[in-house]
């Protein structure tokens, strides 16, 4: 295959369709497998490709005596604390492909081989940024409790009893706990003791709150209301092109994202729960 032949193959409708399909699969894999994707706030206005998006955060309405609005000839104004998220992290995955490999395997096979790995690397990048932001925003909780169950319950109660101009308590169904493998394992051991080891592999729910093991956080326990952290992502379509002054080609993936706490008052952490005792 000559260089021109390779360029012709990359320029075919089949190759372009394959790259577009691979890009769609990559986005699907990120949405399905990134832990951050099931926690983050997606109710933003604007297009991530424009450089920033906005998220509304409305204050609670106030209840007045009947006739107040009529007497004042107006109702209360809606108070909105808008949060702007800048798409300020630009990333790329650019891998070189030798002309002989393109000739041997074809663009379709090569892209299939790399798409899963590219998705996994993007997931790692996004999850790490998400949980770094969450931990930075989180309020540290201290407790005199020593067993893991009471520590987790104290953390849950701290989050569910938040009251301010935006929040009047949080239902446990809206909360999610992520735990380091050490802390998660402690809680799993407690459950195994209670049920004789007949439990499921994952904890799933604990005291009415969803819980996940997470390798990309440092605080042993982190609790947040869903939507507390926003992370809009813009992913460009895959491209394949010849590398100048060479007989090699590259598969290019570019994506951009921004991460910011929208409701930092609904994020809490406990640092050292993984060293606690197990009390059954």
Three-class DSSP category at 236:
coil
Alpha-carbon distance 70 to 154, whole Å? 45
Alpha-carbon distance 48 to 86, whole Å? 8
Dihedral sign for Cα atoms in the order 87, 230, 267, 188: negative
**How many other CB atoms are there within 10 angstroms of residue 174's CB atom?**
16
What are the φ and ψ backbone dihedral angles of 213, each rounded to 5 degrees? -80, 140
The length of the chain, given as a count of residues: 280
B/e letters for 232-241, b = 16+ CB within 10 Å, e = fewer, are bbbbeebebe
Q: Both tokens of residue 126?
A: 């996004």
Give the single-character DSSP code of 41. Answer: B
151-182 pLDDT, tens digit per residue, is 999 999 999 999 998 888 999 999 999 999 99
Neighbour-count burial of 171, counting CB atoms closer than 10 A to its CB (0-12 exposed, 13-18 middle, 19+ buried): exposed
Which segments of the chain have a pLDDT < 70? 1-12, 58-70, 72-80, 194-202, 273-280
What are the residue ranges of helices labelled H in the chain?
A: 3-10, 13-33, 68-72, 99-137, 148-160, 181-195
Q: Both tokens of residue 72?
A: 């004042």
95-128 pLDDT, tens digit per residue, is 888 877 777 777 778 888 888 899 999 999 999 9
Q: Residue 243 in contact with residue 113, Cβ under 8 Å?
A: no
Q: What is the pLDDT of residue 64?
A: 61
Residue 149 CA from chain centroid, whole number: 26
Alpha-carbon distance 240 to 238, whole Å? 7
Neighbour-count burial of 132, counting CB atoms closer than 10 A to its CB (0-12 exposed, 13-18 middle, 19+ buried): middle
Mean pLDDT of the chain: 83
**Whole-structure pTM over 0.95, yes or no?**
no
Q: What is the pLDDT of residue 250?
A: 82
Q: What is the pLDDT of residue 166?
A: 85
Q: What is the pLDDT of residue 271?
A: 87
Q: Both tokens of residue 273?
A: 């729960």
């Amino acid at each position: 295959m000559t260089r021109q032949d390779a360029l012709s193959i990359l320029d075919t409708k089949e190759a372009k369709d394959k790259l577009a399909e691979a890009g769609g699969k990559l986005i699907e894999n990120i949405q399905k497998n990134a832990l951050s994707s099931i926690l983050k706030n997606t109710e933003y206005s604007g297009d991530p490709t424009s450089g920033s998006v906005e998220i509304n955060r409305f204050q609670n309405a106030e209840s007045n005596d009947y006739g107040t609005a009529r007497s004042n000839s107006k109702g209360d104004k809606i108070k909105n604390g808008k949060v702007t998220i800048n798409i300020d992290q630009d990333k790329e995955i650019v891998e070189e492909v030798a002309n002989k490999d393109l000739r041997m395997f074809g663009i379709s096979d090569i892209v299939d081989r790399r798409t899963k790995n590219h998705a996994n690397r993007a997931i790692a990048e996004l999850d790490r940024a998400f949980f770094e932001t969450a931990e930075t925003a989180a309020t540290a909780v201290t407790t005199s409790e020593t067993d893991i169950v009471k520590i987790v319950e104290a953390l849950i109660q701290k989050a569910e009893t938040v009251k301010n101009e935006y929040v009047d308590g949080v239902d446990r169904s809206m909360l999610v706990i992520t735990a380091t493998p050490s802390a998660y394992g402690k809680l799993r051991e407690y459950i195994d003791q209670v049920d004789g080891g007949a439990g499921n592999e994952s904890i799933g729910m604990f005291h009415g709150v969803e819980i996940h093991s997470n390798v990309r956080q440092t605080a042993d326990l982190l609790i947040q209301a869903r939507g507390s952290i926003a992370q809009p992502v813009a992913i460009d379509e895959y491209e394949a092109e010849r590398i100048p002054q060479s007989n090699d080609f590259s598969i290019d993936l570019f994506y951009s994202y921004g991460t910011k706490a929208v409701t930092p008052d609904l994020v809490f952490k406990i640092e050292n729960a993984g060293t606690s005792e197990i009390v059954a």
